[in-house]
């Protein structure tokens, strides 16, 4: 299951309903907004994980944080704590508020939801995405995570397979080559 599916299906769609209620959207609009924002979050996580120390930082953040609560209790995802954590997450994966604004602007074009709403939704959704990663990855053993056999390793394998050929080896080698230059 990919990140978008995990978020959309969390608690039988409660994340979508909470986002819709929080921003006075109908569920279709909320789903469209989430559909438009999550791929950018996934790319941000992938870029972050492909940098030296980035994967270790991501795994450490997932292990230290209580991110799973955003999936288990979707009403928490719309609270101020989620916004604050989400802004921190966005800072790590996008690097600047300007990138977050650009993501919201592009998502507004494809979703039909106002960019002002999407700017407010993005940090909440970043927290939910971390929750989905945490729930997916940390019930498994460290061996499975490291090998990519499941859990976070398997999920990140999907992110890191840039050319979608089913193998991350060529993509990781390309990234490693960039670090060696």
88-131 pLDDT tens trace: 999 989 988 899 999 999 999 999 999 999 999 999 999 999 99
* 176 vs 132, residue with greater confidence: 132
> Given this model, what pLDDT does residue 39 score?
92
Domain span at 133: 3-180
Closest CA to 122 of 83, 170, 167: 83
> Given this model, what pLDDT does residue 172 score?
47
Taking each helix axis from N to C end, the angle separating 27-50 and 151-160, rounded to the nearest 10 degrees, works out to: 90
Contact 137, 155 (CB under 8 A): yes
> Given this model, what pLDDT does residue 181 score?
42
- Residue range 15-38: average pLDDT? 96
41-86 pLDDT tens trace: 988 888 888 877 877 888 888 888 888 899 999 999 999 999 999 9
Domain count within the chain: 1
Does residue 136 have a pLDDT over 80? no
Contact 131, 125 (CB under 8 A): no
């Amino acid at each position: 299951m990919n990140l978008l599916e995990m978020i959309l299906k969390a608690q039988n769609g409660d994340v979508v309903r909470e986002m819709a209620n929080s921003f006075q959207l109908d569920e279709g609009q909320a789903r469209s907004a989430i559909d438009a924002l999550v791929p950018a979050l996934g790319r941000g996580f992938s870029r972050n994980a492909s940098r030296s120390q980035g994967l270790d930082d991501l795994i450490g953040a997932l292990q230290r944080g209580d991110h799973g609560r955003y999936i288990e209790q979707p009403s928490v995802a719309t609270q101020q704590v989620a916004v604050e954590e989400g802004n921190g997450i966005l800072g790590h994966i996008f690097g600047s508020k300007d990138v977050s604004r650009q993501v919201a602007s592009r998502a507004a074009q494809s979703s039909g939801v106002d960019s002002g709403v999407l700017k407010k939704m993005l940090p909440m959704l970043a927290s939910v995405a971390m929750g989905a990663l945490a729930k997916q990855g940390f019930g498994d053993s460290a061996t499975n995570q490291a090998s990519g056999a499941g859990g976070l390793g398997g999920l990140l394998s999907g992110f890191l397979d840039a050319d979608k050929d089913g193998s991350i080896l060529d993509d990781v080698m390309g990234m490693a080559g960039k670090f060696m230059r």
